[in-house]
Chain A
Amino acid sequence: MRFLRVVSFLLTVVVVAAVGFLIIGWRSELPPDEKAATAQHPPDLVAKGAQLAAVGNCIACHTKPGQAAFAGGLPVPTPFGTLYSTNITPDPQTGIGSWSEAAFNRAMREGVDREGDHLYPAFPYDHFTWVTDEDNKALYAFLMTRTPVKATAPKNELIFPLQFRPLLVGWNMLFFREGVMQPDSSQSEAWNRGRYLAEGLGHCGACHTPRNSLGAEDRGNHFAGGEAEGWQAYAINAASRSPVPWTTDSIAFYLRNGWHELHGVSRGPMAEVTGNLGLLPDSDIQAIATYVASVMGEPSADRKAKGEKLAQSFGNGGAGLTTAAVNIGKPAADLASHPGAAIYTAACSTCHESGKAQPFGGLNFNLSTAVNAPNPQNIVNVTMFGLPPADGQPSAVMPAFGNTLNDQQVADLLGYLRARFSDQPVWSGLTDLVAKTRSGEHPVTVLASDGIERAPKNVGAKEQK
Chain B
Amino acid sequence: MTITLNVNGKSHQVDAEADTPLLYVLRNDLDLHAAKYGCGLGQCGACTVMIDGKAALSCVTPLLVAQGREITTVEGLGTAENPGPIQKAFIEKQSAQCGYCIAGMMMSGAALLKHNPKPSDDDIRAALRTNLCRCGTHMRIMAAIKRASELMGQQAALPAAESNRSAG
Contact = CB atoms under 8 A, between A and B. Distances in A.
A397 interface: yes
Interface residues of A, number: 24
Given A399-B130, A403-B54, A404-B56, A347 B61 contact: yes
Given A389-B129, A458-B126, A399 B65 contact: no
A346 B61 contact: yes
B51 A403 contact: yes
Contact of B130 (A351, A389, A401, A409): A389
A342 B19 contact: yes
A455 B41 CA distance: 24
Interface string A319-352: 0000000000000000000000111011100110
Nearest to B57: A399
A345 B19 contact: yes
A445 interface: no
Nearest to A459: B122
Interface string A397-411: 111110111100100
A350 B65 contact: no
B43 A404 contact: no
Given A343-B65, A459-B122, A404 B41 contact: no
B56 A342 contact: no
Nearest to B124: A458
> What is the predominant secondary structure among interface residues of chain A facing chain B?
loop
A398 B43 CA distance: 7
Contact of A350 (B17, B41, B52): B41
Contacts of A343: 19, 62, 64-65
A109 B63 CA distance: 59
A404 B129 contact: no
A2 interface: no
A400 B56 CA distance: 9
A404 B122 contact: no
Contacts of B129: 388-389, 458
A340 B42 CA distance: 19
Contact of A399 (B52, B60, B125): B60
A404 B57 contact: yes
A345 B42 contact: no
Contacts of B17: 342
Interface in B112-130: 122-123, 125-126, 129-130
Given A342-B18, A405-B65, A399 B43 contact: yes
Interface in B99-153: 122-123, 125-126, 129-130
Nearest to A349: B19
Given A350-B41, A389-B130, A458-B122, A404 B61 contact: yes
Contacts of B21: 346
Nearest to B69: A406
B40 A404 contact: no
B55 interface: yes
A409 B60 contact: no
Contact of A457 (B43, B61, B63, B122): B122
Contacts of B42: 347, 351, 398-399
B20 interface: yes
Interface string B61-99: 111110000000000000000000000000000000000
A350 B60 contact: yes
A303 to B, nearest CB: 33
A402 to B, nearest CB: 8
Interface in A343-374: 343, 345-347, 350-351
Contact of A342 (B40, B43, B54, B62): B62
A337 to B, nearest CB: 11
A454 B129 CA distance: 11
Contacts of A403: 51-52, 54-56
Nearest to A348: B60
Contacts of B64: 342-343, 346
A360 B47 CA distance: 21
A345 B43 CA distance: 17
Contacts of B63: 346
B65 A409 contact: yes
A399 B47 CA distance: 12
A350 to B, nearest CB: 6
Contacts of A350: 40-41, 60
A276 B88 CA distance: 46
A397 B44 CA distance: 11
Given A346-B19, A403-B54, A458-B126, A351 B62 contact: no
A406 B68 CA distance: 12
B126 A457 contact: yes
A389 B43 CA distance: 10
Nearest to A345: B19
A318 B125 CA distance: 34
Contacts of A342: 17-19, 62, 64
Interface centre among A343, A346, A350, A405, by most B CB within 10 Å?
Answer: A346
A400 B21 CA distance: 16
Interface string B1-38: 00000000000000001111100000000000000000
Given A342-B18, A389-B129, A457-B126, 20 more contacts: A342-B17, A342-B64, A343-B19, A343-B64, A346-B19, A346-B64, A347-B42, A347-B61, A351-B42, A388-B129, A389-B130, A397-B43, A399-B43, A399-B130, A401-B60, A403-B56, A404-B57, A405-B65, A409-B65, A458-B129
10 contacts: A343-B64, A345-B62, A398-B42, A399-B60, A401-B60, A403-B51, A404-B56, A404-B60, A405-B65, A459-B122
Closest 8 CB pairs of A and B: A346-B62, A399-B42, A458-B126, A342-B19, A403-B54, A342-B18, A345-B19, A346-B19
